[in-house]
Amino acid sequence: MRTLYAEYGGPLLHYVTGLTGGDRQHAEDIVQETLLRAWRHPEVVQSADRSPRSWLFAVARNLAIDAHRARMARPQEVGEPAEVAVDDRRLDDTLTHFEILEALQGLATQHRDVIIAVYYRGLSIDEAAVQLGVPAGTIKSRCHYALRALRVLCAERGLLP
Protein backbone atom coordinates (compact mmCIF):
# COMPACT_ATOMS: atom_id res chain seq x y z
CA MET A 1 0.00 0.00 0.00
CA ARG A 2 2.86 2.39 0.76
CA THR A 3 4.35 1.80 -2.64
CA LEU A 4 0.98 2.25 -4.29
CA TYR A 5 0.42 5.54 -2.44
CA ALA A 6 3.93 6.76 -3.13
CA GLU A 7 3.57 6.12 -6.85
CA TYR A 8 -0.06 7.12 -7.49
CA GLY A 9 -1.13 9.23 -4.48
CA GLY A 10 0.01 12.60 -5.82
CA PRO A 11 -1.38 12.27 -9.35
CA LEU A 12 -4.59 10.74 -8.00
CA LEU A 13 -5.07 13.61 -5.54
CA HIS A 14 -4.45 16.16 -8.30
CA TYR A 15 -7.00 14.44 -10.56
CA VAL A 16 -9.67 14.16 -7.85
CA THR A 17 -9.14 17.75 -6.70
CA GLY A 18 -10.13 18.81 -10.20
CA LEU A 19 -13.20 16.57 -10.08
CA THR A 20 -14.32 18.07 -6.76
CA GLY A 21 -14.03 21.64 -7.96
CA GLY A 22 -10.90 22.36 -5.93
CA ASP A 23 -12.20 20.98 -2.61
CA ARG A 24 -8.95 19.45 -1.36
CA GLN A 25 -10.41 17.96 1.82
CA HIS A 26 -13.12 16.15 -0.11
CA ALA A 27 -10.53 15.03 -2.68
CA GLU A 28 -8.34 13.59 0.08
CA ASP A 29 -11.34 11.63 1.39
CA ILE A 30 -11.97 10.19 -2.07
CA VAL A 31 -8.29 9.24 -2.53
CA GLN A 32 -8.33 7.55 0.87
CA GLU A 33 -11.46 5.60 -0.05
CA THR A 34 -9.92 4.67 -3.41
CA LEU A 35 -6.81 3.27 -1.71
CA LEU A 36 -8.98 1.44 0.81
CA ARG A 37 -10.80 -0.25 -2.05
CA ALA A 38 -7.46 -1.13 -3.63
CA TRP A 39 -6.43 -2.74 -0.34
CA ARG A 40 -9.67 -4.77 -0.34
CA HIS A 41 -9.01 -5.93 -3.93
CA PRO A 42 -5.35 -6.90 -4.03
CA GLU A 43 -5.93 -9.03 -7.12
CA VAL A 44 -6.51 -5.92 -9.22
CA VAL A 45 -3.59 -3.99 -7.83
CA GLN A 46 -1.07 -6.84 -7.88
CA SER A 47 -1.84 -7.99 -11.40
CA ALA A 48 1.41 -8.55 -13.28
CA ASP A 49 -0.06 -7.96 -16.73
CA ARG A 50 -1.35 -4.38 -16.21
CA SER A 51 -0.78 -1.22 -14.19
CA PRO A 52 -3.24 -0.40 -11.39
CA ARG A 53 -3.29 3.26 -12.49
CA SER A 54 -6.36 3.01 -14.73
CA TRP A 55 -8.26 1.02 -12.10
CA LEU A 56 -7.41 3.56 -9.35
CA PHE A 57 -8.42 6.52 -11.49
CA ALA A 58 -11.68 4.84 -12.54
CA VAL A 59 -12.58 4.04 -8.93
CA ALA A 60 -11.74 7.62 -7.85
CA ARG A 61 -13.84 9.05 -10.69
CA ASN A 62 -16.80 6.84 -9.76
CA LEU A 63 -16.50 7.82 -6.09
CA ALA A 64 -16.44 11.51 -7.01
CA ILE A 65 -19.53 11.09 -9.19
CA ASP A 66 -21.35 9.15 -6.46
CA ALA A 67 -20.49 11.80 -3.87
CA HIS A 68 -21.70 14.57 -6.16
CA ARG A 69 -24.99 12.77 -6.84
CA ALA A 70 -25.49 12.11 -3.14
CA ARG A 71 -24.96 15.79 -2.35
CA MET A 72 -27.47 16.83 -5.00
CA ALA A 73 -30.07 14.38 -3.68
CA ARG A 74 -30.17 15.75 -0.14
CA PRO A 75 -30.59 19.23 1.30
CA GLN A 76 -27.52 21.40 1.58
CA GLU A 77 -25.48 20.72 4.69
CA VAL A 78 -25.14 23.53 7.15
CA GLY A 79 -22.38 23.72 9.71
CA GLU A 80 -22.48 25.14 13.18
CA PRO A 81 -23.71 28.71 13.24
CA ALA A 82 -20.76 31.03 13.29
CA GLU A 83 -20.54 33.63 15.98
CA VAL A 84 -21.73 36.92 14.68
CA ALA A 85 -18.92 39.39 14.82
CA VAL A 86 -20.18 42.85 15.59
CA ASP A 87 -18.37 45.64 13.82
CA ASP A 88 -18.63 48.52 16.30
CA ARG A 89 -17.93 51.12 13.62
CA ARG A 90 -20.70 49.80 11.38
CA LEU A 91 -23.06 49.66 14.34
CA ASP A 92 -22.22 53.26 15.25
CA ASP A 93 -22.69 54.33 11.63
CA THR A 94 -26.08 52.63 11.51
CA LEU A 95 -27.22 54.21 14.77
CA THR A 96 -26.01 57.61 13.57
CA HIS A 97 -27.91 57.08 10.31
CA PHE A 98 -31.14 56.43 12.21
CA GLU A 99 -30.56 59.40 14.49
CA ILE A 100 -30.06 61.65 11.46
CA LEU A 101 -33.25 60.30 9.88
CA GLU A 102 -35.01 61.12 13.12
CA ALA A 103 -33.51 64.63 13.08
CA LEU A 104 -34.79 65.06 9.51
CA GLN A 105 -38.31 64.82 10.89
CA GLY A 106 -37.66 68.13 12.68
CA LEU A 107 -37.13 69.96 9.37
CA ALA A 108 -39.82 71.76 7.43
CA THR A 109 -41.38 69.51 4.77
CA GLN A 110 -39.87 71.43 1.86
CA HIS A 111 -36.38 71.21 3.38
CA ARG A 112 -36.76 67.51 4.25
CA ASP A 113 -37.92 66.72 0.69
CA VAL A 114 -34.88 68.46 -0.81
CA ILE A 115 -32.41 66.70 1.51
CA ILE A 116 -33.97 63.31 0.76
CA ALA A 117 -34.02 63.93 -2.99
CA VAL A 118 -30.46 65.23 -3.28
CA TYR A 119 -28.55 63.40 -0.53
CA TYR A 120 -30.44 60.14 -0.03
CA ARG A 121 -31.72 59.45 -3.52
CA GLY A 122 -28.65 60.97 -5.17
CA LEU A 123 -30.58 63.16 -7.62
CA SER A 124 -28.83 66.05 -9.28
CA ILE A 125 -30.08 69.60 -8.68
CA ASP A 126 -31.90 69.56 -12.03
CA GLU A 127 -33.44 66.14 -11.40
CA ALA A 128 -34.62 67.21 -7.94
CA ALA A 129 -36.08 70.38 -9.43
CA VAL A 130 -38.10 68.36 -11.93
CA GLN A 131 -39.25 65.86 -9.30
CA LEU A 132 -40.25 68.53 -6.77
CA GLY A 133 -41.63 70.91 -9.36
CA VAL A 134 -39.55 73.94 -8.40
CA PRO A 135 -36.70 75.82 -10.15
CA ALA A 136 -33.11 74.58 -9.76
CA GLY A 137 -32.14 77.80 -7.93
CA THR A 138 -34.83 77.08 -5.34
CA ILE A 139 -33.42 73.56 -4.84
CA LYS A 140 -29.95 75.04 -4.21
CA SER A 141 -31.33 77.58 -1.76
CA ARG A 142 -33.42 75.00 0.10
CA CYS A 143 -30.42 72.65 0.31
CA HIS A 144 -28.36 75.42 1.88
CA TYR A 145 -30.96 76.31 4.51
CA ALA A 146 -31.97 72.69 5.10
CA LEU A 147 -28.37 71.70 5.83
CA ARG A 148 -27.98 74.61 8.24
CA ALA A 149 -31.16 73.62 10.08
CA LEU A 150 -30.16 69.95 10.09
CA ARG A 151 -26.73 70.84 11.51
CA VAL A 152 -28.46 72.65 14.41
CA LEU A 153 -30.80 69.70 15.03
CA CYS A 154 -27.88 67.23 14.99
CA ALA A 155 -25.86 69.41 17.36
CA GLU A 156 -28.83 69.48 19.77
CA ARG A 157 -28.89 65.65 19.70
CA GLY A 158 -25.15 65.40 20.29
CA LEU A 159 -24.41 63.95 16.85
CA LEU A 160 -21.74 66.53 16.01
CA PRO A 161 -18.34 66.73 17.72
Overall pTM > 0.85: no
pLDDT of residue 159: 74
b/e 40-66 (16+ beta carbons within 10 angstroms → b): eeeeebeeeeeebeebbbebbeebbee
Report whether pLDDT(146) > 90. yes
Report whether pLDDT(86) > 60. no
157 or 65: whose pLDDT is higher? 65
**Cβ 104 vs Cβ 112: under 8 Å:** yes
Q: In which band, very low, low, confident or very high, does the pLDDT at 20 lie, cut at 50, 70 and 90?
A: confident
pLDDT, tens only, 118-142: 988 899 999 999 999 999 999 999 9
Q: Is 51 helix (H, G, I), strand (E, B) or coil?
A: coil
